[in-house]
């Protein structure tokens, strides 16, 4: 069964009376090399420990089958009930795979990951061709869960991939880039042209891999203050850091904000997009001390 063949996809979907659901961001892979490359990137085995994979949005099971060939166990969360009978058929040869008909945003990931993988002595990673309408919320849910994922390998829109992997100072670097750097190291692996999907989306895609930090790369007094500082620094992109922070930290006044910037060793005229995670951590600690 070649699930990337157009004729196979059309046959199986029409036999089950299923059509593409735009509202669920359904763009299925039709280039056989892409699921293979994603699965190779996601299923890294540094030692003998069994490998579990959480997949989000299996669709008709194209990537799932590649993952099931490389991992010891795959759990796939699919929101679209209409696809479940198709997945029963396409994954019938892979007893190490289970599909759960559930919205990832409403799933208790902590319980799922503990019961399905960690309690069985497995390492766990995430792999997905993500639905584009909900990419950032899913990524933030995954990293904020603080679950011990080794890596998160996902296909996302190319522009979003550029933003998530931009270095400080780059025009694409934003609050999400800095926030994500706190949780892991993000690398861009390869680009996937729009023509590799059915239906073809309007834009190209890219695969990124986030390797989660075991310990945060910076130590801060208060994590919430770090994220508030990052948010504040990008609130008004075209303004200086001091001006941009004045909305989020209005209670400190201009002088307070200027003092915190100076105490963290930054130039008074710097813009938020030039700050590295280390800069944000120092600044967040100074703002925290002032606020006390
Ligand atoms: N993995 C398949 C592939 O690569 O061909 C399909 C990828 S398609 C871009 C995204 C998939 O995510 C669809 O199957 C869609 O129904 C599913 N999906 C969308 N929103 C979801 C959610 N909130 N939770 C779980 N699955 C979701």
The tens digit of pLDDT for each residue in 255-287 reads 999 999 999 999 989 999 999 999 999 999 999
Query: Ligand 1 pocket, 273 CB below 6 A?
Result: no
pTM, entire model: 0.96
Percentage above 90 pLDDT, the chain: 96
Q: Mean pLDDT, to the nearest integer, of 105-117?
A: 98
Ligand 1 closest atom vs CA 24 = 19
CA–centroid distance, 141 to ligand 1, in Å, is 16
Which numbered atom of ligand 1 lies nearest the CA of 55? 1
User: Is the minimum distance from the CB of 157 to ligand 1 under 6 angstroms?
Assistant: no
Q: Is the CB of 28 under 6 A from ligand 1?
A: yes
User: What's the 175 CA to ligand 1 centre distance in angstroms?
Assistant: 26
Quick one: which atom of ligand 1 is closest to the CA of 64?
A: 1
pLDDT score, position 292: 58
For residue 44, the CA-to-ligand 1 centroid distance in Å is: 23
Q: Residue 46 has what pLDDT?
A: 87
Mean pLDDT, the chain, as a whole number?
96
Q: For ligand 1, is residue 137 a contact (CB within 6 Å)?
A: no
Q: What is the DSSP string of the chain?
A: --TT-HHHHHHHHHHTT----GGGT--EE--THHHHHHHHHH---SSSS-EEEEEE--TTTHHHHHHHHHSSEEEEEE--GGGHHHHHHHTTT-TTEEEEE--GGGS-HHHHHHHHTGGGT-EEEEEEE--GGGHHHHHHHHHHTT--EEEEEEEEEHHHHHHHHPPTTSTT--HHHHHHHHHEEEEEEEEE-GGGEESPPSS-EEEEEEEE-SS-SS--S-HHHHHHHHHHHTTTTTS-HHHHHHHHTGGGHHHHHHHHHHHTT--TT--GGG--HHHHHHHHHHHHHHH-
Our answer on whether the CB atom of 25 is closer than 6 Å to any ligand 1 atom is yes
Annotated domain spans of the chain: 6-212, 223-291
Ligand 1 atom nearest to CA at 197? 5
Q: Return the residue whose CA atom lies nearest to atom 24 of ligand 1.
A: 103
Name the pLDDT band for 238 (thresholds 50, 70, 90). Answer: confident
CA of 241 to the centre of ligand 1 (A): 38
Ligand 1 centroid to residue 55 C-alpha, Å: 9
**pLDDT tens across 125-159, in order?**
999 999 999 999 999 999 999 999 999 999 999 99
CATH 3.90.226.10 is the classification of domain 223-291: no
Which pLDDT value is given to residue 1? 83
How far, in Å, from the CA of 155 to the mean position of ligand 1?
A: 11
Long-range contacts of 283-286 (CB under 8 A, 24+ apart): 283/229, 283/233, 284/220, 284/221, 284/222, 284/225, 284/226, 284/228, 284/229, 285/220, 285/221, 285/225, 286/259, 286/260, 286/261
Q: How confident is the model at residue 237 (pLDDT cuts 50, 70, 90)?
A: confident
Tell me what the mean pLDDT of segment 64-70 comes to: 98
Protein residue whose Cα sits closest to atom 6 of ligand 1 = 59
6-212 adopts what CATH topology? Answer: Rossmann fold (3.40.50)
Ligand 1 centroid vs 131 CA: distance in angstroms?
Answer: 5
Q: How far is the CA of 208 from the centre of ligand 1 (A)?
A: 17
For ligand 1, say whether the CB of 61 is within 6 Å of any of its atoms.
no
Any ligand 1 atom below 6 A from CB of 80: yes
């Amino acid at each position: 069964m070649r699930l990337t063949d157009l004729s196979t996809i059309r046959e199986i979907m029409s036999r089950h009376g299923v059509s593409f659901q735009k509202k669920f961001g359904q763009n299925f892979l039709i280039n056989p090399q892409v699921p293979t490359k994603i699965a190779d990137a996601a299923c890294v085995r540094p030692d003998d420990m069994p490998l579990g994979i959480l997949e989000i949005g299996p669709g008709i099971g194209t990537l799932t089958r590649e993952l099931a060939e490389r991992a010891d166990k795959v759990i796939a969360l699919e929101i679209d009930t209409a696809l479940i009978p198709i997945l029963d058929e396409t994954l019938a040869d892979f007893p190490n795979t289970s599909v759960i008909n559930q919205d990832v945003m409403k799933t208790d990931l902590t319980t799922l990951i503990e019961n399905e993988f960690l309690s069985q002595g497995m390492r766990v990673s995430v792999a997905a061709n993500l639905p584009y309408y909900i990419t950032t919320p899913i990524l933030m849910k995954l990293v904020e869960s603080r679950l011990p994922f080794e890596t998160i390998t996902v296909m996302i829109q190319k522009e979003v991939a550029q933003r998530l992997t931009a270095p400080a100072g780059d025009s694409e670097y934003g609050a999400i880039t800095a926030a994500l750097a706190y949780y892991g190291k993000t690398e861009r692996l390869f680009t996937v042209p729009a023509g590799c999907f059915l239906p073809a989306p309007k834009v190209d895609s890219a695969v990124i891999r986030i390797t989660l930090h075991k310990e945060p790369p910076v130590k801060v007094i208060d994590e919430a203050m770090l994220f508030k500082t990052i948010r504040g620094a990008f609130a008004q992109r075209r303004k200086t850091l001091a001006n941009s922070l004045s909305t989020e930290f209005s209670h400190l006044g201009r002088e307070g904000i200027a003092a915190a910037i100076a105490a963290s060793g930054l130039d008074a005229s710097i813009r938020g997009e030039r700050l590295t995670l280390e800069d944000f951590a120092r600044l967040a600690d100074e703002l925290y001390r002032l606020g006390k």
